[in-house]
Amino acid sequence: MSDLPLRDSHIEPALGFQICSQLKLRSLTLPVLHRMYAEVAIPLNVLQTFTYALPASFAAKAKAGARVLVPFGKQLLTAYIVDVHETLEQAGQAADSYEVKEVEELFDTEPLVTAEMLELTKWIADYYYAPWGEVIKASLPAGINAEAETLVSITQIGRNALTTVFAKRAASVKAQALTKLAEAGFLKSTDLAKEFTKPRATAVIRELEKEGYVTVTRQVQQATVKPKRQQAVRLLERAPIEGSKPLNEQQERIIKLLFDAGGSLSFAQLSEQAAVSPSVIRTLEKRGYVEVFIREVRRDPLAHLPKQYRVGNGADDLQLTTKQQNALNQITDKLQTNEYAAFLLHGVTGSGKTEVYIRAMRAAVDKGKTALMLVPEISLTPMFARRLRAHFGDAVAILHSSLSDGERLDEWNRLRNGEARVCIGARSAIFAPLENIGLIVVDEEHEASYKQDESPRYHGRDTAIMRAAKANALIILGSATPSMESYHNAHTGKYTYLQLDERIGGRRLAQVEIVDLREVFAQYGKQQLFSDKMKTAIADNHARGEQTLVLLNRRGYSSFTLCRACGHTARCINCDVTLTFHK
């Protein structure tokens, strides 16, 4: 069997690739002078990398950062090349230690994972003791990897066995599996696992295959997310042929709409706005006035914003306070050195930290660099994104897990292609494929939500610091209540300390008074829920017609009730949650 052809390097894996488990692929591989080997990271819970041989058909095109399809046990998995070697010794393997499996397919001739991102993900894997393959997978948009599924089909021998071997054993698991396969023709192994549990189904499939009753094949499935495409119409520059039939009213309306729209519109939009049937547009296409084509459409997560937020109308004429300007000057001066530096911007609420962020990001972009801003919660992203869009227009991209897979892929591609030079997002945006990064901003750096609580576990703030250090970029850590470690680093000289201790316009901070309820208890001789000061303040506030917000640290007297004799707890009859007791 000849080598499989190299597929397109587009981000979508090619379709319809089948591998029969009963055949040895690439058994007639052409000889090469220097056989190449790929060291790959597997996106499973394994800490080591694995070495695979690269077939001659694409060995010269394989690069670190590209995705490949490899056999791993009895599975086919998408893995990531982290290095390419000419010999097994270079890969740290003995030449005769074991038989080296071959890479089944190369998905990318241009790597998806840059050298910088490979270095960063390797640091995360080592520092947080996480599988390198899982970290690389987390750095890429969800849904772009090819997935392989196992298909089980019944053979003619298997059909005959239903009437002979299993005629008196119809209740056995093998007979039930064969019956289902005979009815359907073929089934996915996952469908059989739902019927008989995964371990049992795997064992049954293995036995049936060994006896020749079924055939097992593996098929690479289409990526679950791909670019969105639509049919569009563009206006062609064409002088009317002498003696040709003149345009009617509908056709002239189409030409005018296309001209007013800058030359092109989607097919559906043009048909709707011109109030014509598709046949009218097709007639114009035949006469050479327009061209119908397929184009990719960007799924913009901020498409709902008013136009003024999308064209870069930021308020750069705002007058900064003296302390804001001083902080900004220190940041922009360091930006000119092209060296790593970290700043802790310690600013009280309302002191104008965000304006300093935006001005610093503008300075980085004006210098030809890119900028990244991290926020602790997804809910904060739209607010900051609107402000950044007002300053940078469509040069801003958003990355966070609440976007649809399609939106996330489109934004990721815009950053990778250089169409967007500013990125904002939550924790996972630290993996944004920005080139020549100049500034990273981490807002509310003290927030615990920067910690990833599932594998691969990492801290977004600390990873941002490391990325800035590796890229010789600046990083600004902003907070009204800095974390202890950041505050310590700022006062030991590791970070530059910038302080904004006054609110914009001289507005006063809210007054805080702590009431010791032990004194209230001593005064009344019993427990009081509200102190006299609090009740007086609420009454005065109410008399002024203003509202009061009272926050309690716990709802109810007890979060659950327990019978000490039998261990019974009162639970909700609908959801099984323990009931809260209100005394």
In the prediction, which pLDDT does 504 show? 83
3-class SS at 150?
strand
Is residue 123 within 8 A of residue 431, CB to CB? The reply is no
In the prediction, which pLDDT does 543 show? 95
Q: How far apart are CA 108 and CA 113, in angstroms?
A: 10
**Whole-number Cα distances in Å, 399 to 294, 409, 461:** 27, 9, 16
DSSP classification of residue 449:
G
In the prediction, which pLDDT does 24 show? 36
Give the residue among 44, 124, 51, 60 at the shortest CA–CA distance from 82: 51
Give the residue among 320, 346, 369 at the shortest CA–CA distance from 490: 346
Q: How far apart are CA 499 and CA 96, in angstroms?
A: 63
Name the H helices within 128-247. 132-139, 156-163, 173-184, 189-196, 198-210
My answer on whether omega of the bond before 456 falls inside 30° of 0, hence cis, is yes
Task: Classify residue 487 as exposed, middle or buried by CB count within 10 Å of its CB (0-12, 13-18, 19+).
Answer: middle
Is residue 495 within 8 A of residue 477, CB to CB? The reply is yes
**Whole-number Cα distances in Å, 6 to 14, 32, 201, 428:** 10, 17, 34, 32
pTM metric for this prediction: 0.70
Q: How far apart are CA 254 and CA 274, in angstroms?
A: 6
Q: How far apart are CA 361 and CA 441, in angstroms?
A: 9
Q: How far apart are CA 528 and CA 521, in angstroms?
A: 7
What are the pLDDT tens digits along the chain (583 aa)? 333 333 333 333 333 333 333 333 343 344 444 678 999 999 999 989 999 999 888 888 889 999 998 888 877 888 999 999 887 777 666 555 567 888 888 888 888 899 999 999 999 999 999 999 999 999 998 877 666 667 888 888 888 888 887 777 777 888 888 888 888 877 777 777 777 777 777 788 888 888 888 887 766 666 666 777 778 888 887 655 555 678 888 888 888 888 888 778 888 888 888 888 888 888 888 888 888 888 877 777 766 666 555 555 555 567 888 999 999 999 999 999 999 999 999 999 888 999 999 999 999 999 999 999 999 988 777 778 888 888 888 888 888 877 777 888 888 888 998 889 999 999 999 999 999 999 999 999 999 999 998 889 999 999 999 999 999 999 999 999 999 999 999 999 999 999 998 888 778 878 888 999 888 888 888 888 889 999 999 999 999 999 999 987 778 888 888 888 888 999 988 888 889 998 8
In the prediction, which pLDDT does 17 show? 35
Determine the residue type at 13. P
Give the residue among 119, 192, 89, 113 at the shortest CA–CA distance from 150: 192
Q: Is the dihedral of CA 134, 138, 139, 141 positive or negative?
A: positive
In the prediction, which pLDDT does 315 show? 54
Is residue 185 within 8 A of residue 153, CB to CB? The reply is yes
In the prediction, which pLDDT does 493 show? 93
36-41 and 75-85 strand pairing: antiparallel
